[in-house]
């Protein structure tokens, strides 16, 4: 096999992407499909699933709330019927959560953030691992954390707490599953262009009493490369982590962020 061939996934992988119909998840789903994988997604947005399936024939999907165990069970019914097994799980589901001082954060908002961002990782891992153990195609689990999983993030404590926890889960599962030749890594996206980041910037600007443009400039000044990353940048890293060239990468926490220096 030529060196350049080892840097992309082997065609035919069976891939599940959670929250895979919008944003980063959709970019990951499209990238794997373009690389010759068979892709199933889940998402809370039925219209987005239908739109993706229309735009990229061959991608299938299940409507589900990733934080609800019974919904996750239904997703794996879809995985079995559509893919017949699993080689790659990209556990991407997550929400921004509330922005505010710790004393002002509503307990229900805290719990919802942890449920979607962290509990979903547990629900999907526990269902996916038996299928990954049966894979003979270099099985991989990729957990989507955040730059907020390596840096403190004032006024976004629920989000940061959940994303740090994902890093701990990743490193623990890498040790647990390594003897079965299952690789487990985390991707930590930074400031990602798009509507979700626009909402985060607007909320933080309101909390700190700044204009949206001033807040956006503050974000850029924290990045060594002085630019946001794209969803496609994150998807490219996911593809590499599932390639033969990454066969000895596990337990790694990989930032795709232009080097965010602080938050």
Tell me which residues are annotated as active site: 159
In angstroms, the Cα distances linking 149 to 41, 59, 170 are: 24, 30, 12
Residue 116, by phi and psi: left (phi above 0), alpha (psi -120 to 50) or beta?
alpha
Cβ-count burial 32-52 (b if 16+ within 10 Å, e if not): bbebebbbbbbbbeeebbeeb
- Beta carbons of 113 and 159 less than 8 angstroms apart: yes
């Amino acid at each position: 096999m030529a060196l350049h061939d080892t840097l992309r996934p082997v065609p035919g992988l069976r891939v599940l992407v959670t929250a895979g119909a919008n944003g980063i998840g959709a970019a990951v789903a499209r990238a794997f499909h373009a690389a010759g994988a068979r892709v199933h997604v889940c998402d809370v947005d039925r219209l987005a699933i239908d739109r993706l399936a229309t735009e990229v024939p061959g991608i299938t999907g299940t409507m589900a709330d990733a934080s609800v165990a019974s919904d996750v069970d239904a997703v794996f019914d879809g995985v079995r019927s559509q893919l017949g097994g699993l080689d790659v799980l990209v556990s991407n589901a997550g929400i921004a959560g509330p922005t505010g001082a710790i004393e002002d954060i509503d307990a229900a908002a805290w719990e919802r953030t942890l449920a979607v961002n962290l509990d979903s990782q547990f629900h999907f891992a526990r269902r996916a691992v038996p299928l990954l153990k049966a894979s003979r195609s270099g099985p991989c689990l990729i957990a989507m954390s955040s730059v907020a999983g390596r840096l403190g993030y004032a006024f976004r404590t629920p989000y940061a707490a959940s994303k740090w926890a994902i890093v701990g889960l990743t490193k623990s599962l890498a040790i647990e599953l390594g003897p079965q030749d299952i690789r487990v890594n985390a991707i930590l996206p930074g400031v990602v262009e798009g509507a979700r980041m626009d909402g985060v910037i607007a909320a933080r600007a309101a909390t700190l009493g700044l204009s949206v443009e001033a807040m956006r400039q503050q974000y850029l000044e924290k990045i060594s490369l002085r630019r946001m990353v794209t969803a496609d940048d994150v998807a490219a890293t996911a593809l590499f982590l599932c390639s033969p060239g990454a066969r000895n990468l596990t337990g790694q926490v990989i930032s795709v962020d232009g080097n965010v220096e602080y938050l």
